[in-house]
Structure 1
Amino acid sequence: MPADLAVIGLGHLGLPLAQAATAAGVNTVGYDPDPRVIADLQAGRPPVDGSLTASEIRRMLSGGFRTTAEDAELGRVHTAVICAPTPLGEDRSLDLRAVGDAAHTLAARLRPHTTVLLESTAYPGTTEEFLRPILEQGSGLRAGRDFHLAYSPSRLDPGNRAYGYGDTPKVIGGLTPACTEAAAAFYGRLCDKVVRARGPREAETVKVLESNYRHVNIALANEMAVFCNDIGVDLWDVVRCAETKPFGFQAFRPGPGVGGHGVPIDPNYLSYQGRSLGHPLRMVELAQEVNGRMPRYIIQRCATLLNEHGKSARGARVLLLGVSYKADIADQEGSPAREIASRLMELGAQVSYHDPHVPQWSVLGRPVPRADFLYEAAADADLTVLLQQHRTYDLQGLAVKAQLLLDTRGASPAGAAHRL
């Protein structure tokens, strides 16, 4: 039976969309060119860390969700959504190769009247200047006339218990007004509210603004953390007081670095066009520089704490708590924990870790020992470092057990630990 929807790319973007569509009663097929991904999903296993749980995938499958690595399925759907990954390359530009591959595959099967949507993180202009030509040349159809084309930025927030797919407003921008309405009709089946942008460029730029807003404000919080530590001020008390202001302020908190899939985006790096706008977002570049320094600053604080207690980093037993990029999930994408662990190892420290969501962890190609008994491990370690505030961690109890506790999240009671 032909599906109504094809989700192309079954990773961190595609699976939550497929889950929402299946729950809404939309006949959905998931396509991924990697047969290992398909095999995992068909067996009820999550193909990537930090995506859906095994029980959620099993519920989707029992609800009618199908997966395939055969592109023939793409020629029988009413709506196709490209959710391919676009990681940052070495030159800080978004890597659009997976989007291009997905577009070529879809173009060969594209039928008239299909609605094609892009959800992957993209530069302003990607939908019109990169995706559209591939689809048109590969299909012989014309976007805006023979098929609908639109962009909708992903707004996923893994682990957020307050907002899910359905109650987070969905921004859409179509190539033509008819394209926008086709996209609105689809997303209206999944979401409570659809917000229409003027066009795909505006919708793409929404993603640029939202991602960079987070990074710039976290960078300010991180700079304040370093500044306050230098002058002997309790930053966490400062933030607590500042967030009582009912206007003109939103609290952001520092940490050991910034991870996740919401990468900072500078439209100046338009590698797929082979050109530069010539107007770099200097605030974004600076924020990335500040946030990128935080793992090194954490190492500095670790070494200082050990020295103050008559110990050297070389040979010290260091326990890292929480190695995912966000609390209460397993996803380690961009987590600063890996750089912190590798730098500690380079200093000669004996590193172990604990994370209730990550059963195995490797750094520098070597497995890191996992502490099975948390309190015993904290008592045995010369230094315990909280990198991620998982809900299961009792910071008061850990502060009592640990010889030294460095809290990079401000989660411990005042005076119970050394805080960032």
Structure 2
Amino acid sequence: MDFIDAIKNRQIKIAVIGLGYVGLPLSMALTKAGYYVQGIDCNAQRVESINNGHSNIIDVKDECLQESLKNDLFNASTEYSLISNVQAIIICVPTPLNKAKEPDLSYIIKAMKGVLPYLTKQILISLESTTYPGTTEELIEGYVEKEKGWKVGEDFYVCYSPERVDPGNKKFSVENTPKVIGGSTQKCLQIGQTLYESFLPKVVGVKTTRVAEMTKVLENTFRCVNIALVNEMTMMCERMGIDIWEVIKGASSKPFGFMPFYPGPGVGGHCIPLDPLYLSWEAKKYNYFNRFIETASDINSNMPYYVVHQIGKILCQQGKSIRKNKILLLGMSYKKDISDLRESPSLEVYELLKKQGASVEYYDPYIESFNYKDKVIKGIVFNEETIKQFDIVVLLSDHSNIDYNWLVEKATLIYDTRNVCKDIENHKIIKLGQNIEGMYLEN
């Protein structure tokens, strides 16, 4: 039986390396389709929790994980040696930036070094981690060919299929989001596409791994530059005394040629703040300098500074300053209704306010605590008594499970960076981008 027939008959075992927000949901989708999945993760505590039936990912319910464990279709481990029992490997490890804003591919390199001794011929390796065009060729295909002396497309097969996970999205998940895949050779693509089509409804094949890699960074660069555009429009509209939120609402009435993007305190998560810089970094090797991407990244990364500047202006209108006044940050996650703190602009707003001498506290229904300069910062008790103690409440994440009408009633002043209070008429509310020069704010 050849590889493709083995896939169709569910006669292959699959290893998923990295059991985070991409790898664990992917593993569950594979087990639902009848595959045995061997999960590999370097975090022993996470592995133990998963094997005990406790999901660390908002998009994977404990019940789903427990069912896969009960049916002996899934197991998590820290041991790469278990790779010797599988016929396909899917790599879903992080690809962050280092302090110099350059790609950090150490997780991919570590994963490949871990699997190398246990690879068997005719194995499929698919990379899902977001990265720059050429990574799959260099770190997967080239590495195995050099170390093993094998030939891609004959002795082993390589694909790139970028993850398209949107944590907390209730409409689109791994199982109903179209998947792009590219192969190192036509045979690689055929095998990889057959595997993904066996558990996903729509798979789009492209000619090469480089095309697939570029597809992913284009998707997130598109979002990055459009968010930057509306963030810049927000700052311009403030000077002109125009409500940017009303502008977007009006423009959104056009049924063609316009797609709404919204301003905020900055961009967060693993994709939008990082992926465009991966592309820009790689382009420099070709003597091409992406001024558009760099400018967009600069605008978005400066939004926390803009937010803090506006907080200072708002307090100034009340004869106060940031220093020594009490400020509550509402929402620390980078987007609504999740507990993900990766690259969250709320963390930078917190740090900037602390540096200016503010007494800063936070509340987030999804985050009990976070680490700041080797200290554990815990959220406040969210009730009327504590809310009234703050000079201003800053809405940074628009979580759905907060009663904003109640908050407006109890709070002294609210700075809304997400327009979550758009339907509430109250003088206490100041919106992101609102012109507050000379504004009189009632105490």
TM-score normalised to structure 2 length: 0.89
Q: 1:117 aligns with which of 101, 116, 126?
A: 126
**Contact 2:12–2:88 (CA under 8 A) maintained in structure 1:** no
**Unmatched runs of 5 consecutive residues or more in structure 1:** none
Percent identical: 37
Report the CA distance between 1:307 and its aligned residue: 1.1
Comparing 288-297 with 342-351, which one deviates more in the overlay? 342-351
Q: 1:18 aligns with which of 27, 33, 41?
A: 27
Aligned residues: 415
From the superposition, tell whether residues 56 and 259 of structure 1 become closer, same or farther in structure 2 (CA, over 3 Å).
farther
* 1:53-95 alpha-carbon deviations (Å, 9 max, x no partner): 5555434423431011222211221211011111011232221
3-state SS in 2 of match to 1:148 = strand
Q: 2:367 aligns with which of 358, 361, 370?
A: 358
- Report the equivalent of 1:127: 136
- Quick one: which amino acid aligns to residue 388 of structure 1? S
Q: 1:322 aligns with which of 317, 331, 335?
A: 331
Separation in structure 1 between the aligned mates of residue 312 and residue 113 of structure 2, nearest angstrom: 51
3-state SS in 2 of match to 1:167 = coil
Separation in structure 2 between the aligned mates of residue 359 and residue 257 of structure 1, nearest angstrom: 22
Report the CA distance between 1:304 and its aligned residue: 0.9
**Contact 1:10–1:32 (CA under 8 A) maintained in structure 2:** yes
- Quick one: which amino acid aligns to residue 213 of structure 2? E
- Report the equivalent of 2:340: 331
Separation in structure 2 between the aligned mates of residue 396 and residue 155 of structure 1, nearest angstrom: 35
- Quick one: which amino acid aligns to residue 27 of structure 1? Y
- Report the equivalent of 2:70: 62
Separation in structure 2 between the aligned mates of residue 342 and residue 108 of structure 1, nearest angstrom: 44
From the superposition, tell whether residues 337 and 59 of structure 1 become closer, same or farther in structure 2 (CA, over 3 Å).
farther
**Contact 2:59–2:168 (CA under 8 A) maintained in structure 1:** no
- Report the equivalent of 1:419: 431
Comparing 361-370 with 250-259, which one deviates more in the overlay? 361-370
Report the CA distance between 1:12 and its aligned residue: 2.3
Separation in structure 1 between the aligned mates of residue 413 and residue 62 of structure 2, nearest angstrom: 37
- Report the equivalent of 1:141: 150
Report the CA distance between 1:166 and its aligned residue: 1.4
**Contact 1:151–1:204 (CA under 8 A) maintained in structure 2:** yes
**Contact 2:332–2:341 (CA under 8 A) maintained in structure 1:** yes
Separation in structure 1 between the aligned mates of residue 229 and residue 64 of structure 2, nearest angstrom: 37
Q: 2:388 aligns with which of 379, 393, 399?
A: 379
* 1:322-372 alpha-carbon deviations (Å, 9 max, x no partner): 100111010100001111111111122111111110011233333334222
**Contact 1:100–1:134 (CA under 8 A) maintained in structure 2:** no
Q: 1:158 aligns with which of 157, 164, 167?
A: 167
Separation in structure 2 between the aligned mates of residue 83 and residue 182 of structure 1, nearest angstrom: 19
From the superposition, tell whether residues 58 and 280 of structure 1 become closer, same or farther in structure 2 (CA, over 3 Å).
farther
**Contact 1:108–1:138 (CA under 8 A) maintained in structure 2:** no
Report the CA distance between 1:45 and its aligned residue: 3.7
3-state SS in 1 of match to 2:320 = coil
- Report the equivalent of 2:252: 243
Instruction: Kindly indicate whether residue 114 of structure 2 is the aligned counterpart of residue 102 of structure 1.
Output: no
Q: 2:415 aligns with which of 380, 403, 406?
A: 406
Instruction: Kindly indicate whether residue 355 of structure 2 is the aligned counterpart of residue 346 of structure 1.
Output: yes
Question: After TM superposition, where is structure 1 displaced by more than 6 Å over at least 4 residues in a row?
Answer: none
Pairing 1:191-210 to 2, within 5 Å after superposition: 191-210=200-219
- Report the equivalent of 1:264: 275
Instruction: Kindly indicate whether residue 194 of structure 2 is the aligned counterpart of residue 185 of structure 1.
Output: yes
Separation in structure 2 between the aligned mates of residue 212 and residue 55 of structure 1, nearest angstrom: 36
Report the CA distance between 1:50 and its aligned residue: 5.6
- Quick one: which amino acid aligns to residue 296 of structure 1? Y
* 1:28-62 alpha-carbon deviations (Å, 9 max, x no partner): 11012333332232233445x76745555434423
**Unmatched runs of 5 consecutive residues or more in structure 2:** 1-10, 433-443
- Quick one: which amino acid aligns to residue 171 of structure 2? A
Comparing 90-99 with 32-41, which one deviates more in the overlay? 32-41
**Contact 1:45–1:54 (CA under 8 A) maintained in structure 2:** yes
Comparing 286-295 with 100-109, which one deviates more in the overlay? 100-109
* 1:2-23 alpha-carbon deviations (Å, 9 max, x no partner): 9611001222221121121122
- Quick one: which amino acid aligns to residue 39 of structure 1? E
TM-score normalised to structure 1 length: 0.94
Q: 2:238 aligns with which of 221, 229, 234?
A: 229
Report the CA distance between 1:139 and its aligned residue: 3.0
**Contact 1:110–1:139 (CA under 8 A) maintained in structure 2:** no
Instruction: Kindly indicate whether residue 70 of structure 2 is the aligned counterpart of residue 27 of structure 1.
Output: no
